[in-house]
Amino acid sequence: MRFRIVEGAENMNTADIVRLLRNTYWAANRPDETIEKSLRHSSCFGVWAEDAQRLVGFARVISDYATTFYLCDVVIDPEYRRQGLGTALLSHIHALPEFSSLRGLLLTRDAHGLYEKFGYQTVRDRAMLKAL
């Protein structure tokens, strides 16, 4: 199966993003209006499955573009997990010049191993920090 990274919420279907976030423990009950507002005020990235013709991964980044970025809403469709798509999505984001030299922050309950690949270290069980 072929996949590609999509940049910009305007290049993704909001309904697809909502569908993905409904499968998470942190955004399952987030109102659609809140999701839509968050998309307008974030840098958004998706994983598009060419064969299935649908969005199967998503992530948002909030940043001041000078010192820090906050990585959030990282999700891969359950049917497409364990194929390296989360790693590919994060690799793409971390390679972008606007984020590559910044400190990264995120919260996770269960994906520490994924984020450790990108230099994040756990702080108090859930918070993770990627130092400069």
pLDDT of residue 126: 66
Give 43's strand partners: 61
| pLDDT tens digits for range 23-58 | 999 999 999 999 999 999 999 999 999 988 999 999
- CB 56: neighbour CB atoms within 10 A? 22
pLDDT (0 to 100) of residue 7: 98
Q: Would you list the DSSP string of 80-116?
A: GTTSSHHHHHHHHHHHSHHHHTSEEEEE-SS-HHHHH
pLDDT score of 11: 97
In this structure, the strands spanning 54-63 and 43-49 are antiparallel
Q: Which CATH number fits domain 3-102: 3.40.50.2000, 3.40.50.10800, 3.40.630.30, 1.10.150.130?
A: 3.40.630.30
**By CB neighbour count within 10 A (0-12 exposed, 13-18 middle, 19+ buried), where does 34 fall?**
exposed
Would you state the pLDDT for residue 23?
92
Counting as low any pLDDT under 50, the low residues of the chain are none
The torsion angle over the Cα atoms of residues 103, 108, 110 and 113, rounded to 10 degrees, is 0
- The pLDDT of residue 132: 57
The structure's pTM equals: 0.90
- Rounded CA-CA distance 70/15 in Å is 23
Looking at residue 109, its pLDDT comes to 86
